[in-house]
Amino acid sequence: MDISTISAAVSSLKAAKDIAQGLLALKSLSEVQGKVIELQSAILDAQGKALDAQTGIVELQDQLKAANQRIAELKSHQAFVGTLARNNGAYIAPGDPDPYCPRCVEVSVTPVHLVKTGKQEMRYWIWACPECKVQMPWHLG
């Protein structure tokens, strides 16, 4: 929604007011009926523009709600990441023995646990991320 939509609705209401004031100066019934029709048309136009403005307001409210939800998610993620410690290339949470994928924590803002693959490389287990597929040797050190 933009200012032009609101301005158009206000202009339509002003036109309706001007037409209504013009009714007072009319003398014949046919002139009054013509002005009444013109007034009704202006009122309908104003109502349509007001409805358009209301639709725009609802859309903006939805966008604001989505943006606020995203901000809350990012703040929650930031608070969670603040509790993590970097350990041999991965992140670990206090009291959690399994590491988190460093890429997912840092890039996708979705903390994902690494999963032990069963393979070893130079006495370290290979851990893989089920989300981004990164693999890395890791041990709690």
Q: Is residue 134 located within the same domain as residue 121?
A: yes
β-partners of residue 91 are 86, 100
49 three-class SS: helix
Q: Is residue 32 located within the same domain as residue 61?
A: yes
Q: Is residue 90 located within the same domain as residue 36?
A: no
Instruction: Determine the structural domain holding residue 24 and report its residue range.
Output: 3-81
Q: Is residue 72 located within the same domain as residue 89?
A: no
pLDDT in tens, the chain (141 residues): 567 777 777 777 777 777 777 766 666 767 777 777 888 888 888 888 888 888 889 999 999 999 999 999 989 989 998 999 998 889 999 988 889 999 999 888 788 999 988 888 888 889 999 999 988 888 765
Q: Is residue 42 located within the same domain as residue 96?
A: no
Write out the H or E segment, with its range, that includes residue 87: strand 85-87
Tokens at residue 17, please? Answer: 């007011």
CA quadruple 80, 82, 85, 90: dihedral, nearest 10: 60
CA 90 – CA 27 distance, rounded (Å) = 88
Q: Is residue 66 located within the same domain as residue 104?
A: no
The tally of domains found in the chain comes to 2
Q: Is residue 63 located within the same domain as residue 9?
A: yes
Contact yes or no for 90/99 (Cβ under 8 A): yes
Q: Is residue 42 located within the same domain as residue 101?
A: no
